[in-house]
């Protein structure tokens, strides 16, 4: 970890003022609406560039469980069902293979910021040894494929296939699923694992449609145009090209070092800098790995979650940037309480702010230590709390700005002015480029059906989207009243552990498999959460607004709905179990292991 910096009270006051100033600069009346769906010139930008669609007969059959989405949520659920003895499970995905975001995101340098030992699910079950502490995207994609092979999930899968509607057929007590490939099949149960960040969005910049050069989104990387390949094969066609990249979020931070290395010239258009902490990657020693005893991965998962959410453990197994900040906060809270302060949200917040100031000063000092041009270094410093935006960890990103062929075009929070046929305008200056890469992220917080591409119609004939319009309503983030035999695989209204998203799915999938196995065992046709049970669950959820992540004090971004606080019950849309992820996982395990499944009604 980086060296600790002491922050004086005066400096703290300066930081508070500067953070608010930088936030205010970026607040926009249009919020989420500043982004546009890829249409017109960008119509095909979300098509699958990696797998040709193979003609096949339409499917008209019945399965036990249809899982929509074949990313880690779908895969671990499929695996858990298989382990529980449930047969006839079907994965369905628009992508040409399993893997979800790790199928789509093949941009150069793509890797996961969360340690592979905990991020990659089912390592023990698949006999997998990660190559390094943090592994590249192509290794994660290969792991997803390995899960599908190990648990026989390919056989019944429908890939390159998008669901168009999922509706409850009361006569046969089955879900009916239609797709864009003409399929029309039924399933006793449906699980949706469509992911929080998969629908690419574009910035609604004036003139974006008029650009006459080449353009693509980072999640559909165009290796035909760039040359090279995802396993760090240099992009040999970029050597004489002028490339623009718009956006400096977690994706851009990973691909900019590769673009900086390979492009003739690179222009990085920045609206808000990311915080870049140390990466410190290292290979995993297979001998050490082999010495881990059975059940090690669950122990690592729980250890990380415990430390990352302020708990105490004898040892920090993962030791990374996530556990570092959390332990600093925890130790400060303890010191304050020892000095007589009450253990309260205010004490925790004050301790958090102190630790965060220290961490962010270190991050800003790191920029000065690495970036040689002082103006560029100043522009790369983030002025917000670390958890306001996705924290980034990289050991080559900042160094890239020392290359003579790389130009940072900082827009002081305002973004690109406009785009024309030949390039990009920013700060009143025109930059002529051959190619624009949009590292502009994914839709979050827009309508559910717009993101997933299909409606789910429940017993009342209304869609889930309509039902949730006033605010999301679930039991455990998974079960919805009025939508029998449906399991939502997401993070909200449950642990909402964003530092290690697959962990949420691993725990949820065990519970879902137990529910399905129980329903099958007792011969139940349906299983559904009661309305009052959902109401009672919602009492145990804390809205995002109350937490450090998603705070309206933060500089705008998808974590805080672009700076627009959610209202009423919608505050619970990104909410979490009030006692935190560790308590939630323990609660859930006891809940399904008890075999009583309180809150669910089998009939």
The residues of the shown chain that bind ligand NDP, judged by CB under 6 A, are 26, 112-114, 197, 203, 205, 246-252, 254, 269, 271-272, 390, 415-416, 439-442, 557-558
Q: Output 23 or 330, the one with its CB closest to ligand NDP.
A: 23
Of the candidates 439, 502, 443, the residue with the CA atom closest to the CA atom of residue 99 = 502
- Compute how many other C-beta atoms are within 10 angstroms of the C-beta atom of residue 181: 17
Name which of 153 and 498 has its Cβ closer to ligand NDP: 498
Least separation in angstroms between CB 140 and ligand NDP? 9
List the Cα angle 548/549/554 in 5-degree steps: 85
Task: Report the residue number, 254 or 545, with the smaller CB distance to ligand NDP.
Answer: 254
Q: How far apart are CA 509 and CA 531, in angstroms?
A: 23
User: 359, 328 in Cβ contact below 8 A?
Assistant: yes
Taking the complex as a whole, how short is the minimal distance between the CB of residue 48 and ligand NDP, in angstroms?
A: 18
Q: Kindly give, in sequence order, each residue whose CB lies less than 8 Å from that of residue 47, ignoring residues fewer than 6 positions away.
A: 220
Provide, rounded to whole angstroms, the least separation between the CB of residue 523 and ligand NDP.
42
Least distance from C-beta 148 to ligand NDP, angstroms? 21
Tell me the C-alpha distance between 283 and 536, whole Å: 47
Give one DSSP letter per residue of 334-363, joined into a string.
HHHHHTT---SHHHHHHHHHHHHHHHHHHH
Spatial distance between the Cα atoms of 358 and 378, rounded to a whole number of angstroms: 18
Minimum distance, C-beta of residue 46 to ligand NDP, in the bound complex (Å): 14
| Closer CB to ligand NDP, 92 or 112, in the complex | 112
Least Å distance, CB 238 to ligand NDP, is 20
Residue 45 DSSP label: G
> Contact, 480 vs 175, CB < 8 A?
no
504, 496 Cβ separation under 8 angstroms: yes
Let me know how long the chain is: 603
* Closest distance to ligand NDP from the beta carbon of 412 (Å): 11
- Rounded Cα distance between 74 and 90, Å, is 10
DSSP 260-281: HHHSSEEEEEESSPPPEE----
Q: Please identify, using beta-carbon distances, which residue of 161 and 272 lies nearer to ligand NDP.
A: 272
- Please, which residues have CB within 8 angstroms of residue 377's CB and are 6 or more apart in sequence? 367, 368, 370, 371
Nearer to ligand NDP, 205 or 351 (CB): 205
Q: Which is nearer to ligand NDP, 99 or 557 (CB)?
A: 557
| Tokens found for residue 70 | 């074949």
How near is the Cβ of 301 to ligand NDP at its closest, in Å? 16
The DSSP H or E segment spanning 255 is: helix 250-262
Closest distance of CB 591 from ligand NDP, Å = 28
Nearer to ligand NDP, 143 or 473 (CB): 143
Q: Least distance to ligand NDP from the beta carbon of 206, Å?
A: 10
Between 175 and 442, CB nearer to ligand NDP: 442
Please, which residue, 497 or 512, has the CB nearer to ligand NDP?
497
CA–CA distances in Å: residue 569 to residues 179, 376, 560, 565: 32, 43, 16, 12
């Amino acid at each position: 970890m980086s060296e600790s910096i002491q922050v004086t009270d005066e400096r703290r006051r300066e930081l508070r003022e500067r953070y608010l100033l930088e936030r205010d600069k970026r607040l926009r009346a249009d919020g989420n609406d500043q982004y546009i769906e890829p249409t017109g010139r960008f119509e095909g930008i979300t098509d699958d560039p990696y797998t040709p669609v193979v003609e096949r007969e339409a499917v008209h059959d019945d399965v036990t469980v249809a899982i929509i989405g074949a990313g880690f949520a779908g895969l671990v659920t499929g695996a858990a069902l298989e382990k529980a003895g449930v047969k006839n499970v079907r994965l369905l995905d628009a992508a040409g293979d399993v893997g979800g975001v790790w199928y789509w995101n093949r941009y150069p340098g793509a890797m996961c910021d969360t340690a592979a030992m905990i991020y990659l699910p089912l390592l023990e079950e698949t006999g997998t040894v990660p190559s390094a502490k943090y592994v590249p995207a192509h290794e994660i994609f290969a792991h997803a494929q390995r899960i599908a092979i190990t648990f026989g999930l390919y056989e019944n899968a429908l890939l390159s296939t998008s669901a168009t509607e999922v509706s409850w057929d009361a006569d046969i007590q089955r879900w009916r699923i239609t797709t864009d490939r003409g399929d029309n099949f039924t399933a006793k149960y449906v699980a949706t694992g469509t992911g929080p960040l998969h629908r690419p969005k574009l910035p609604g910049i004036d003139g974006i449609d008029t650009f006459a050069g080449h353009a693509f989104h980072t999640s559909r990387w165009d290796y035909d145009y760039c040359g090279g390949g995802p396993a760090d094969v240099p992009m040999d066609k970029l050597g004489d090209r002028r490339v623009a990249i718009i956006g400096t979020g977690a994706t851009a931070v990973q691909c900019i070092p590769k673009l900086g290395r390979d492009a003739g010239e690179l222009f990085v258009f920045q609206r808000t800098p990311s915080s870049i902490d140390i990466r410190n990657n290292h290979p995993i020693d297979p001998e050490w790995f082999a010495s881990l005893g059975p059940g090690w991965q669950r122990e690592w998962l729980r250890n990380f979650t415990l430390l990352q959410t302020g708990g105490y453990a004898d040892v920090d197994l993962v030791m990374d940037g996530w556990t570092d900040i959390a332990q600093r906060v925890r130790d400060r809270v303890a010191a304050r309480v020892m000095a007589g302060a009450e253990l309260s949200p205010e004490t925790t917040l004050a301790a958090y702010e102190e630790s965060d100031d220290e961490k962010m000063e270190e991050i800003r000092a790191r920029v000065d230590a690495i970036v040689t041009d002082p103006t560029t270094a100043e522009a790369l410093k983030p002025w917000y709390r670390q958890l306001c935006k996705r924290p980034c960890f990289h050991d080559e990103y900042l160094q890239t700005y020392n290359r003579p062929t790389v130009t940072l075009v900082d827009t002081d929070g305002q973004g690109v002015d406009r785009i024309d046929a030949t390039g990009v305008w920013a700060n009143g200056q025109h930059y002529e480029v051959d190619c624009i890469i949009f590292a502009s992220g994914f839709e979050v917080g827009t309508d559910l059906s717009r993101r997933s591409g299909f409606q789910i119609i429940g017993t009342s004939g209304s869609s889930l989207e309509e039902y949730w319009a006033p605010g999301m309503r679930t039991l455990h983030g998974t079960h919805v009243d009025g939508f029998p035999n449906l399991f939502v695989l997401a993070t909200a209204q449950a642990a909402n552990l964003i530092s290690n998203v697959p962990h949420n799915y691993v725990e949820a999938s065990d519970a879902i498999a137990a529910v399905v196995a129980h329903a099958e065992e007792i011969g139940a046709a349906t299983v559904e959460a009661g309305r009052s049970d959902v109401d009672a669950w919602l009492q145990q959820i804390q809205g995002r607004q109350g937490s450090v992540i998603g705070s309206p004090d933060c500089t705008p971004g998808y974590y805080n709905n672009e700076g627009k606080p959610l209202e009423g019950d919608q505050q619970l849309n990104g909410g979490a179990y009030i006692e935190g992820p560790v308590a939630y996982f323990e609660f859930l395990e006891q809940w399904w292991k008890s075999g009583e499944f309180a809150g669910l009604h089998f009939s």
